[in-house]
């Protein structure tokens, strides 16, 4: 059953053909700008992304810093103990 617009069951084939014949733009908005325009766009995008970042509060930042420093000190101690153990083992084996 059809009406003035087209078939209810099947879409018009002409619409699909017209859409596929349209030329795709190469590069979009960036394709029309020069190097300085692209650089400005890049920095605008950077600023937009930085605005999306959830920045930590001062107390969160101090907590995170403290945890990292304690972890690094513990790892330094662990590596030092293991290094000293290997040093003594090599001295014992090779004399």
Is this prediction's pTM over 0.85?
Answer: no
3-state secondary structure (DSSP) of residue 23: coil
CA 77/CA 71 separation, integer angstroms: 10
DSSP class of 55: P
Please provide the average confidence, as pLDDT, over all residues in the chain. Answer: 82
Q: Stretch 29-57: mean pLDDT, rounded?
A: 88
CA 55/CA 61 separation, integer angstroms: 9
pLDDT of residue 25: 56
Q: Stretch 8-35: mean pLDDT, rounded?
A: 60
pLDDT of residue 33: 76
Q: Which two tokens stand for residue 77?
A: 């101690």
């Amino acid at each position: 059953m059809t009406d003035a617009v087209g078939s209810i069951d099947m879409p018009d084939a002409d619409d699909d053909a017209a859409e596929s014949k349209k030329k795709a733009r190469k590069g979009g908005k960036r394709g029309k700008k020069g190097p300085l325009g692209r650089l400005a766009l890049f920095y605008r995008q950077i600023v937009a992304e930085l605005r999306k970042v959830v920045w930590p509060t001062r107390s969160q930042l101090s907590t995170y810093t403290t945890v990292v420093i304690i972890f690094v000190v513990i790892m330094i101690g662990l590596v030092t103990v293991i290094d000293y153990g290997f040093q003594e083992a090599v001295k014992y084996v090779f004399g």
